[in-house]
Amino acid sequence: MVVLLVCRTMLLDAGDAAAAPMQCLTPATEQAVRELFDAGTLQTTLGPDLTLTGVSVTGTRIEVRAQSAGGGVHGIDLVVGATERPPDGQGRRFAYLALPPAAPESIVRALLATADLIDRTVPEAAFVDCGPSAAGVHGGLDPTMHRRRGSALIRATAQVLILLAATIFGWRALRSP
């Protein structure tokens, strides 16, 4: 009975780290961004100095890429959750990361205006709870999360086997004269 309680506690502890909720994007996000793109609104917001070259939506990130008249590649990432560096701006649900970080001020302003437009356009229904870190496609779960859960389960199973072996050897020691 004690072994079962200890095993259950270890399994719950191993799964807790991977079970914390986080917001991920759904296909509704891609639809909202696609509508802005098709209407030409994103290009208009970028202004005449930048040409929109691409937009992509992944699990926790919207990436907007543009090219300047001088040929430089610039972009802005709208990120749900933690970012790899301090954000250049903040919206309702997204942190904004300008790329490259040292872009000229006029380009950063245009990119931030575009990010703000997207942030205001994406509906609340476009967010779902997923996992502690998601970078999967279209609101899917991060594949590394499954590996983390799998390795936590393997560690917990190994601990259960060790406890079971110790229990069996203990019983044998008590039975032997």
Using CA atoms, how far apart are residues 109 and 131, in angstroms rounded to an integer? 32
Count Cβ atoms below 10 Å from residue 80 Cβ, excluding itself: 21
Please spell the DSSP secondary structure of 110-154, one letter per residue: HHHHHHHHHHHHS-GGGEEE--SS--SSTTPPPHHHHHHHHHHHH
- What residue ranges do the domains of the chain occupy? 23-129
In the 8-state DSSP scheme, what is residue 22? -
Q: Strand 50-57's sheet: what is its strand order?
A: 50-57, 61-68, 73-79, 95-99, 89-90
Predicted pLDDT of residue 132 = 52
Using CA atoms, how far apart are residues 37 and 43, in angstroms rounded to an integer? 8
- The arithmetic mean of pLDDT across residues 47-72, rounded, is 92
What type of residue is 141?
L
Count Cβ atoms below 10 Å from residue 104 Cβ, excluding itself: 13
Predicted pLDDT of residue 136 = 46
Digit-coded pLDDT (tens) for 82-131: 889 999 999 999 999 999 878 889 999 999 999 999 999 999 888 898 86
Digit-coded pLDDT (tens) for 24-46: 999 999 999 999 999 999 999 99
What type of residue is 97?
L
Predicted pLDDT of residue 69 = 86
